[in-house]
A = this chain, B = another copy of it.
Amino acid sequence: MRQVAIVGLGQTPVREHWGNNLRDLAVTALRNAMEDAGVDTLDGVCVGNMLSGALSEQEHLGSLIVDYAGLDGVEGMKIEAACGSGAAAIRMAVKAVASGLMDKVGVVGVEKLTELSGNFSTTALATAADADYESTMGLNFVGINALLMCRYLHEYKCDKNDFSLFPVNAHQNAVHNPHAMFRHTITHKQYAESKMIAYPINLLDSSPIADGAASVIVVAHENMDQYAGKPVSILACEVGTDTIAVDNREDPLWLKGVERSVKKAYHVSGLSPKDIDFFEVHDAFSIMTALSLEASGFAEKGKAIEFARKTGIDIQGGLPLSTCGGLKGRGHPVGASGVYQVIEAVQQLRETVPPKIQVPRNDIAMAQNIGGSGATVITTILKKIA
């Protein structure tokens, strides 16, 4: 297997894009990434997307996007793994290049969630859960996360308001990211007074649905100097799975999918949690941040909040989280989020983020994309090239 690098980045702002359709967003991001890499063709394109069929009446995105990007005849394939679709597409590209099958592969994660009214997207997002045993019983994704958070508060006897430190940090960082959806700070008081969505999850625990597209260009290390974009190494891009239905899990508060994914990623990279300089966490809901920190080996079980307080999760902290706003502050265009996370990690390693959110220790980054409450988890570890 060859070593692999990212040499091109492209993204659209995360917004309600009323004036741009799905293909516009995808092609804009992909062409920007190709321009950054200095390439005018690719060997293949991996598309990460969950809901184009349900919300834009468009499946078959692989060939659509290569066609619209002017890549006539190039292989384009869509991969779907719920909210993990973006990093799943990156994994597909990384493996295609690592194996020597292809030399330069484009990844584009794209989602357009605001095309129809919110009810449609909530229903569509619930297809990431178990249709026969969860969603048909009325359980949607806020509901599933609310049950998990309830259990967490009960088991570990913590104060619900302590979770505020995650979204407060995410918003603080999003202020400086020009592509973020919410460029304003929030306070602990605002969190405590925020509108309840599904007890105990309030509005400020919840990442917003949004539209956006994000793209990276993956190439072999041995060729990376041929490209215009400053390269960053991918040390690992590994997947772990778990049951979809949360009630089938031995311990619903332990994300086995996360554990499996990070174990492989640490093994492949030869690293451990203490080597990670900052972490692009899948903060779709505050509870997911806590559970991910624990199953990823950063915090002990039930101690994520204590860990966050002690270690520090802001830009100057011991483990900066959501450095460009995370899903909470940047926005969560489902199938694109995993690619945004990796782009933001690469920008940190390239030192091209705005100074106020540049993390001081930036040799090794970890990004983790989670599909369906932990059923598909892809952990990517990236390394600066000196």
Q: Which of A66-112 contact B (CB under 8 A)?
A: 66-67, 72-82, 88, 92, 95-96, 98-101
Segment among A49-57, A179-187, A321-329, A343-351 that sits at the interface with chain B? A49-57
Nearest-neighbour CB distance to chain B for A258, whole angstroms, equals 12
Q: Does A63 count as interface, using CB distance less than 8 angstroms? A: yes
Q: Is the CB of A239 within 8 A of B57?
A: no
Q: Is the CB of B57 within 8 A of A82?
A: no
Q: Is the CB of A77 within 8 A of B66?
A: no
Q: Does A35 count as interface, using CB distance less than 8 angstroms? A: no
Q: Does A213 count as interface, using CB distance less than 8 angstroms? A: no
* Contact A60-B80, Cβ < 8 Å, known A96-B95, A99-B100, A132-B21: yes
- Complex Cα distance, B376 from A67, in Å, reads 11
* Contact A59-B80, Cβ < 8 Å, known A53-B54, A53-B124: yes
Q: Which of A241-286 contact B (CB under 8 A)?
A: 241-244, 248, 256-257, 260
Q: Does A363 count as interface, using CB distance less than 8 angstroms? A: no
Nearest-neighbour CB distance to chain B for A324, whole angstroms, equals 26
Residues of B within 8 A of A58 (CB): 127, 130-132
Residues of B within 8 A of A132 (CB): 21, 23, 58
Residue of B nearest to A241 (CB): B63
Residues of B within 8 A of A53 (CB): 51, 53-54, 124, 127
Question: How many copies of this kind of chain does the complex include?
Answer: 2
Q: Does A64 count as interface, using CB distance less than 8 angstroms? A: yes
Residues of B within 8 A of A59 (CB): 50-51, 80, 82, 127-128
Count of A interface residues, CB-CB < 8 Å: 63
Q: Is the CB of A60 within 8 A of B81?
A: yes
- Complex Cα distance, B243 from A241, in Å, reads 35
Q: Is the CB of A376 within 8 A of B63?
A: yes
Residues of B within 8 A of A66 (CB): 241
Indicate with 1 or 0, residue by residue over A313-339, a CB within 8 angstroms of chain B CB atoms. Answer: 000000000000000000000000000
* Contact A79-B77, Cβ < 8 Å, known A95-B99, A127-B57: yes
Most chain B CB within 10 A, of A54, A58, A260, A371, is at A58
A-B contact pairs, 17 of them (CB 8 A): A1-B100, A51-B53, A53-B54, A54-B54, A57-B131, A59-B128, A60-B129, A60-B375, A63-B257, A66-B241, A67-B241, A67-B242, A72-B243, A73-B242, A75-B241, A76-B241, A95-B99
